[in-house]
Each structure stands twice: as structure tokens, then as C-alpha cells.
């Protein structure tokens, strides 16, 4: 990953591996930023603690059935529109805790973005159980990581667990309440449908 020059526009991508609309954002973001010279900063966080603060112990898409039914149909349409593979998972939400810890541990690895995209594909196009260490090891190998088991081990180190907790706290401090969210020059955008607005903001509001 190249280091940013001070003037290079950056876009923070706040994502949660359980989030359906994050799948859309993560798979289409490279096309969306193509040629814009934008550096992406990947920020995994957990929605569970945020939902818990709002009094929810499950995804709002499960708690509110009309919202859930709509979301699955909307997701199907969006994936068709953008040419993104999609199959409704047999379980929702799937725990993204371990995958998030791997993403934190691997933040400087060249395969980080490939890994993130690969995990979403596994969950939302291949119906695989991304909370399983074995599945994650397969996915790490898929993206060219030769030492998959090492990364699974690193992901469970106390300092990595702490950093994910801190990053979730930082999400709350930024006013984040859902995923995906984008932060561009301090401005918060929520939802994959705000990706283009966030990109514009990152490059045009100097």
C-alpha cells in the first residue's frame, strides 16, 4: 500500500462484515474511484455494540420484517444493476468478529482489500460461514496470503481485539450508526448509495 502524500484525497470506508449493503459498496468501490487518485482507508467496526445501545439485540432487518423483506429485494436489484454476484445467505446476520480482527491485523498488507472483498463474496454470494476460522483461512489463501494460519492467530492477539473495540468506539464518536459509512474530509456519509457523494466530497472540498 503506497503512502499518501499530504494532498492526496482519502476516503475512509467504515464497514461491518455482517452488513448487506457493505457488500455492494465494497464490490463496486474500485470502479467508483477509478482515475480519481483517491486513497482508501479501510475501517472495520462492529455494529453489534451500536445496535445494542439503540436497544436492539439483532439486526433491524430481522426485528422489522417489512424493512427486512424490502432490503433483500433491494439488494438483489442493486447487485444485478452493478453486476455483483449475490445469493441470499441461509443465515443472517453472520458474525464478522474474527474477519474484522483479521482486517485490523492486516491493515498494512497488500492483500487487505482483496481479502475484504473476498469475505463479502463468501458470505453474500457463496453462502459460506465467514465466522469459521477454517473458511477464513481458505479465503486468505484465495487472495494470495501464504501464511493464513498465522494471520488467524494474530487476529486473536489482545492488542488486535482492543484495537477493534477502540475502532468501534471511534465509529460511535464519529456519529456512525450503520454500515457502510464513509468519511471524507471529516464529513460523514451513510449508505452505499452515498458512495459517489462521498467521493465528490473527498476530492472537491479543499
Q: How many residues bind its own copies (CB under 8 A)?
A: 22
Binding mask 160-189 for its own copies (x = CB under 8 A): ------------x--xxxx---------xx
CB of 99 to its own copies, least distance (A): 24
User: Of the two residues 137 and 188, which places its CB atom closer to its own copies in the complex?
Assistant: 188
State the Cα–Cα distance between residues 13 and 36, nearest whole angstrom. Answer: 16
In the complex, the smallest distance separating the C-beta of residue 157 from its own copies, rounded to whole angstroms, is 31
Distances in Å between the alpha carbon of 90 and those of 51, 124, 129, 146? 22, 9, 10, 30
Which positions from 22 through 81 interact with its own copies, judged by CB under 8 A?
Answer: 54, 64, 66-67, 69-70, 73-74, 77, 81
Whole-angstrom distance, CA of residue 167 vs CA of residue 51: 15
Q: Counting Cβ atoms within 10 Å, is residue 2 exposed (0-12), middle (13-18) or buried (19+)?
A: exposed
> Which candidate, 71, 68, 69, 85, places its Cα nearest to that of 26?
85
Residues at the contact surface with its own copies, assessed by CB under 8 A: 54, 64, 66-67, 69-70, 73-74, 77, 81, 172, 175-178, 188-191, 193-194, 197
Amino acid at each position: 500500500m503506497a503512502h499518501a502524500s499530504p494532498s492526496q484525497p482519502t476516503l475512509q470506508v467504515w464497514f461491518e462484515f455482517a452488513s448487506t449493503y457493505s457488500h455492494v459498496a465494497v464490490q463496486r468501490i474500485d470502479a467508483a474511484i477509478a482515475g480519481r487518485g483517491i486513497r482508501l482507508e479501510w475501517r472495520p467496526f462492529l455494529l453489534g455494540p451500536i445496535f445494542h445501545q439503540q436497544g436492539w439485540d439483532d439486526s433491524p432487518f430481522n426485528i422489522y420484517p417489512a424493512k427486512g423483506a424490502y432490503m433483500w429485494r433491494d439488494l438483489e436489484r442493486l447487485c444485478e444493476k452493478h453486476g455483483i454476484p449475490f445469493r441470499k445467505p441461509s443465515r443472517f446476520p453472520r458474525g464478522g468478529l474474527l474477519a474484522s480482527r483479521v482486517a485490523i491485523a492486516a491493515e498494512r498488507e497488500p492483500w487487505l482489500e482483496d481479502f475484504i472483498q473476498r469475505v463479502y463474496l463468501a458470505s453474500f454470494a457463496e453462502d459460506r460461514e465467514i465466522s469459521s476460522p477454517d473458511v477464513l483461512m481458505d479465503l486468505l489463501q484465495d487472495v494470495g496470503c501464504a501464511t493464513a494460519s498465522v494471520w488467524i492467530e494474530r487476529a486473536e492477539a489482545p492488542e488486535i481485539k482492543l484495537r477493534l473495540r477502540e475502532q468501534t468506539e471511534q465509529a460511535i464518536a464519529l456519529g456512525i450508526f450503520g454500515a457502510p459509512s464513509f468519511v471524507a474530509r471529516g464529513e460523514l456519509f451513510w449508505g452505499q448509495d452515498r458512495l459517489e457523494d462521498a467521493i465528490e466530497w473527498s476530492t472537491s472540498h479543499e
